Amino acid sequence: MQRTAKIILSKPLSIIGVILIALVILSALFADFITPFPSHRGTVVDFSNFNQPPGWPNIMGTDLVGRDLFTRIIYAYRISLILGIVVLLLAVPLGVTVGLMAGYMGRKVRFVLMRMTEVFLSIPPLVLAMSIMGVLEPTLINGMMAVTVMWWPWYSRLVYNLTLAEKEEGYVLAAEVIGASKLHIMFIEILPNCFPAILTKMTLDLGFVILIASSLSFLGLGVQPPTPDLGSMVAEGARYLPDSWWLTVFPGLAILVAVFGFNLLGDAMREVLGTHQ
Amino acid sequence: MEHVFDLLIRRIWLSLLVLVGVSVLIFLIARVIPGDPARIALGPNATDEQVFKLRGELHLDEPIWKQYGYFARDLVHGDLGTSLYTNRPVVEDIIQFLPATLELVIAAGILMVLIGLPLGIISAKYEGRFLDNLIRVIALLGVSAPSFVWAVILMLLFAFFLPLFPIAGRIDTDYDIVRTTGFLLIDTLLMGNLEAFTNALWHLFLPAFALALSGIGQAARLTRANMTETYRKPYIEMADSYGFPKWRIARKYAFKPSLIPSLTIIGLDFAAMLGNAFLVEAIFAWPGLSRYGVAVILRKDLNAIIGTVLIISAAFLIANLVVDLLIAILNPRIRHGR
Amino acid sequence: MKNLTLEIIRLSLTFEGLMETNQVLHEISLNIAPKEKVALVGESGSGKSVTARLILGLLQSRAKTKIQGAIRFEGQEFGWITEKERDQLRGTRMSMIFQDPVSALNPVYNIETQFHEVLRRKYPLITRRQVRKEAIKILEDVHIVHPERVLKSFPFQLSGGMNQRVMIAMGLINKPTLLIADEPGTALDVTVQDQTLHLMQEMVAKRETSVFLISHNLGVVREFSDRLYVIYQGRIVEEGKTEDVFADPRHPYTKALLAAVPGITSGNTIADVINDTSAFRAPKEVH
């Protein structure tokens, strides 16, 4: 573990990744202290100072009702990270369990579970989440649910493939010979060997969940105003291109920075842990 | 070749099975809606009588499996019901809007393959060198932003700042296009109007590129990963130890076997593009399924939602069929039945 | 002095890794005369395989690889010729056969195409028809009954033994002066491995090719080679005629190796001798 961390930190690109992630997480955690106008995350209106280009004290300009864009971006990070973490905490255990069962429990279970997984994977990800958001009210909780529903099948497929390979290994046969229960073999014997691949995917996915969630809210199907959200900020600002370019460019770049950071780190992990999919 | 044919038949059956699954799933999602779909559709001013009548028409009072039965029966007859938003058959709406979206997605798919694969090959061939690192960073940036962010950035740079491309739309309004297929590139050619064709192509480039960027990144990354793995295979070492020219090894020996796994992911990326097209269309005012899709979702127009999702999933399954077929043709193991 | 086919003089190889540098070869010297069959024996990780790849010139252009010493092939010093000239030797003057023929043959091309690629190295303008003629001739030499059918096949459609024959044929079709055999057939079962050795013996005798055999299997070496070198942790610890070394192993490591093979001397296992590896550091023995 320490060795892994050491190798990851010896590559310039992954150092940049770690720095970007640290910046995003720390700024989200301490948003109340580092943002110049913490109250601007809510419904503040300041028409004397609306739609201002980047300058001082609004380093990224102000939005159409005069709120500080930088403040709102940092608070949006907070929402995005919470959403990403919750989605993964729900989707990963579900997908992993399905994948383990499909891989280990015999042909009928495999057929049913993997066909089901395939059905979910056959709907383009964003479209599935959109249609779920379509029937539900657009709230943060429902957004998390919609993204979770589209996300778990990726883990069940990953773990299914890993399980197929692992169950032929000697240690699994040994456990079977001494009469360990299926539950024990799946979760105690096989699962730990899938951890490197799962962890790598989770790191990459934290970025991608943020990306997909911002896409949903860009379409007006995610987090609703006044809660700050990067996707809906871009959508609102897009009508005022090119003159008020900062309304779209800064939230857009904010998404790019966060996702890029997670991707850099995830890539380095994949290389070091040797978890190709 | 007959193995390829068998495989195709089997894949078509499986795809149909999956499509049935998708229809069940979407149907269920649409029916768990909180509140009365008929009431929502008719709006707050409708009388109870009107609501009761619509409930009857939609079979909302019968058990859910029977409702699905009615739905499936109509589906087989090519009837997806009436959109409560446009008051037209959903099929007609989709026929009107789908070609523009497909044109955009196919163009993006072509860009993805034409740019992504070569980048991946170059990256793998120069593994560990500067060029490789440069391509990797660019590819990673490509996948790190949603397509609407790229759309905004490309539009600012190449339509406003450097006015090289048009800002929005599919074609300049001064062209009168006779609609035959709905695909502007085809319709303009059918009319023999090369000028309009060029104009449509010119409008298509920026949105297609914005949509393709994450696919390009993904394709390049994957091709690189597969190729560097192939480069470690014994048969590459054998080719090397027999002194085959390096470019020949890259092209014939490392690329072709690596293409097979890459193709699968390209199929999946195509699926992602079908969804992401919504995002790009919104920025470039592209008259495709996006505006329709978002509008019907916001209005909880169930028939239209189900129809749109089904059509997009079908398009995705067809794309995957094509990919499977290509793999079967490229891979001698499948071609010769093993 | 007669012209040696291959001469390696005080060759060292160091990989400069991310964390540490790793010296893989320590000034090894060996030579192979024309028509001679020479073996390099050692356990995995001892530096056998990298030696073969250095002779082929495969590692020279790699980054973070430091090479010292000299390799002379037919009197040509590798350090003096250009990379292009060195590449020119591979597949024409020297060739190699690999441990696992099934994975060393390219899965997406049929055998004929692969013969074409190899023959093209020596005769760049060769036609398909000539390729077929040459390939059928040599496949008959390696006792393949239906060469036409094999040429149209893909590697995965042939048995391991069949692939092995194809590989030997490919290795020799350009009549190289040196054939490097890296653990030939170890990936296959014992009978096939045995056939492989006999076939190789027969083929190289006919063509007067020198062979550099790399193996961990003393049985194979004893049966096949004229002379042998024993390598341990990147150092040559003993060299001599095969029968001399087997009759009178002098270096502690060679003794341990021989002792570990059941049926050759006593019933000792490697565990009996493994605990005093310090003795394996003893200086080189020459017969």
- Smallest CA–CA distance, residue A6 to chain B, in Å, is 19
Predicted confidence at residue C271, as pLDDT, reads 47
Q: Averaged over A81-109, what is the pLDDT? A: 93
Place of tokens 């279970």: A109
**Cβ–Cβ below 8 Å for C91 and B233:** no
- Smallest CA–CA distance, residue A212 to chain B, in Å, is 7
How do strand C21-32 and strand C210-215 relate by DSSP bridges?
A: unpaired
Q: Which of B253, B331, B333 sits opposite C106 (nearest CB)?
A: B253
Is C286 domain-assigned? no
What's the sign of the alpha-carbon dihedral B187, B193, B198, B203? negative
The confidence band for C1, taking pLDDT boundaries of 50, 70 and 90, is very low
Is A124 domain-assigned? yes
**Cβ–Cβ below 8 Å for B225 and A214:** no
Mean pLDDT of chain B: 85
C99 vs B215, more confident? B215
Chains in touch with A (3+ beta-carbon pairs under 8 Å) read: B, C
Q: Averaged over C213-218, what is the pLDDT? A: 89
- CB burial class (10 A; 0-12, 13-18, 19+) of residue B170? buried
Is C248 domain-assigned? yes
CB C243 within 8 A of CB C211: no
Instruction: Please tell me the distance from the alpha carbon of residue A191 to that of residue A201, in angstroms, as a whole number.
Output: 15
Going by C-alpha positions, the residue among A268, A271, A273 that lies closest to residue A21 is: A268
Q: What is chain A's length? A: 277
Chain B residues with CB-CB distance to A123 below 8 A: 22, 25-26, 309, 312-313, 316
Instruction: Please tell me the distance from the alpha carbon of residue B98 to that of residue B293, in angstroms, as a whole number.
Output: 11
Q: Averaged over A189-207, what is the pLDDT? A: 89
Residue C156 at interface with chain B, using a CB cutoff of 8 Å: yes
Is A169 domain-assigned? yes
Instruction: Please tell me the distance from the alpha carbon of residue A153 to that of residue A159, in angstroms, as a whole number.
Output: 10
> Amino acid letter at C213?
L
Give φ, ψ of C242 to 5 degrees: -60, -50
- Smallest CA–CA distance, residue B123 to chain A, in Å, is 15
A9 vs C183, more confident? C183
Question: Is the confidence at residue A62, as pLDDT, over 90?
Answer: no
Is A128 domain-assigned? yes
Residue range B225-249, pLDDT digits in tens = 888 888 888 888 888 888 888 878 8
The CATH number linked to C66 is 3.40.50.300
Residue range C201-215, pLDDT digits in tens = 999 998 889 999 999
Mean pLDDT of chain A: 87
DSSP string, B57-84: HTTTTS-HHHHHHHHHHHHHTT---B-T
Chain A residues with CB-CB distance to B141 below 8 A: 256, 260
Strand partners, C41: C215, C230
Chains in touch with B (3+ beta-carbon pairs under 8 Å) read: A, C
CA–CA distances in Å: residue C279 to residues A117, A201, C120, C234, C239: 60, 49, 50, 15, 17
Residue A7 at interface with chain C, using a CB cutoff of 8 Å: yes
Predicted confidence at residue B23, as pLDDT, reads 86
Domain that holds residue A193: 2-38+61-273
Is A163 domain-assigned? yes
Is C207 domain-assigned? yes
Question: Is the confidence at residue C279, as pLDDT, over 80?
Answer: no
Place of tokens 């942790």: C233
**Cβ–Cβ below 8 Å for B146 and A215:** yes
CA-based nearest residue in chain C for residue A11? C18
Question: Is the confidence at residue B98, as pLDDT, over 60?
Answer: yes
Identify the weakest region by mean pLDDT among B197-206, C159-168, C261-270: C261-270
ipTM: 0.87
Predicted confidence at residue C274, as pLDDT, reads 58
Question: Is the confidence at residue B84, as pLDDT, over 90?
Answer: no
Q: Give the single-character DSSP code of C90.
A: B
The count of domains in chain C is 1
Enter the tokens of residue B229.
């793995």
B290 vs C116, more confident? C116
Q: Averaged over B96-114, what is the pLDDT? A: 93
Is C151 domain-assigned? yes
Enter the tokens of residue B323.
């990919």
Residue C58 at interface with chain B, using a CB cutoff of 8 Å: yes
Strand partners, C90: C94
Instruction: Please tell me the distance from the alpha carbon of residue B121 to that of residue B225, in angstroms, as a whole number.
Output: 10
The pTM of this model reads 0.79
CA-based nearest residue in chain C for residue A6? C19
Is A44 domain-assigned? no
Residue range B120-148, pLDDT digits in tens = 989 988 888 889 989 999 999 999 999 99
List strands edge to edge, sheet with C21-32.
C21-32, C6-16, C65-73, C76-77
Is A83 domain-assigned? yes
> Amino acid letter at C226?
D
The CATH number linked to A80 is 1.10.3720.10
Question: Is the confidence at residue A176, as pLDDT, over 70?
Answer: yes
DSSP string, B170-203: SS-TT-----SSS-HHHHHHHTT-HHHHHHHHHH
Enter the tokens of residue C211.
């062979």
How do strand C210-215 and strand C227-232 relate by DSSP bridges?
A: unpaired
Residue range A11-34, pLDDT digits in tens = 788 889 999 999 999 999 998 888
Residue range A111-139, pLDDT digits in tens = 889 888 888 887 777 888 888 887 777 78
Write out the residues of chain B at the interface with chain C, using a CB-CB cutoff of 8 A.
128, 233-235, 237-244, 252-253, 256-257, 330-333, 336, 338
Domain that holds residue C40: 6-280
Is A82 domain-assigned? yes
Strand partners, C210: C178
Predicted confidence at residue A73, as pLDDT, reads 93
Q: Averaged over B27-36, what is the pLDDT? A: 73
Q: Which residues contact A181 (CB under 8 A, 6 or more apart)?
A: none
Percent of chain B with pLDDT over 70: 95
The count of domains in chain A is 1
Question: Is the confidence at residue C29, as pLDDT, over 70?
Answer: yes
The confidence band for A4, taking pLDDT boundaries of 50, 70 and 90, is confident
Helix (H, G, I), strand (E, B) or coil at C185: coil
| Cα angle value B279/B282/B286 (rounded, 5°) | 110
Is A126 domain-assigned? yes
Q: Averaged over C176-193, what is the pLDDT? A: 85
Q: Averaged over B292-317, what is the pLDDT? A: 84
Domains of chain B: residue spans and CATH: 96-298 (1.10.3720.10)
Going by C-alpha positions, the residue among B267, B314, B318, B323 that lies closest to residue B21 is: B314
Q: Averaged over B288-315, what is the pLDDT? A: 84
- Cβ count within 10 A of residue A155: 26
Is C285 domain-assigned? no
CA–CA distances in Å: residue A56 to residues A68, A108, A244, B172, B269: 10, 65, 17, 42, 42
Chain A residues with CB-CB distance to C18 below 8 A: 7, 10
Residue A134 at interface with chain B, using a CB cutoff of 8 Å: yes
The confidence band for C269, taking pLDDT boundaries of 50, 70 and 90, is very low
Question: Is the confidence at residue B338, as pLDDT, over 60?
Answer: no
> Amino acid letter at A28?
A
The confidence band for B1, taking pLDDT boundaries of 50, 70 and 90, is low
Predicted confidence at residue B238, as pLDDT, reads 86
Percent of chain B with pLDDT over 90: 24
The confidence band for B305, taking pLDDT boundaries of 50, 70 and 90, is confident
Chain A residues with CB-CB distance to B292 below 8 A: none
Q: Which of B233, B234, B336 sits opposite C154 (nearest CB)?
A: B336
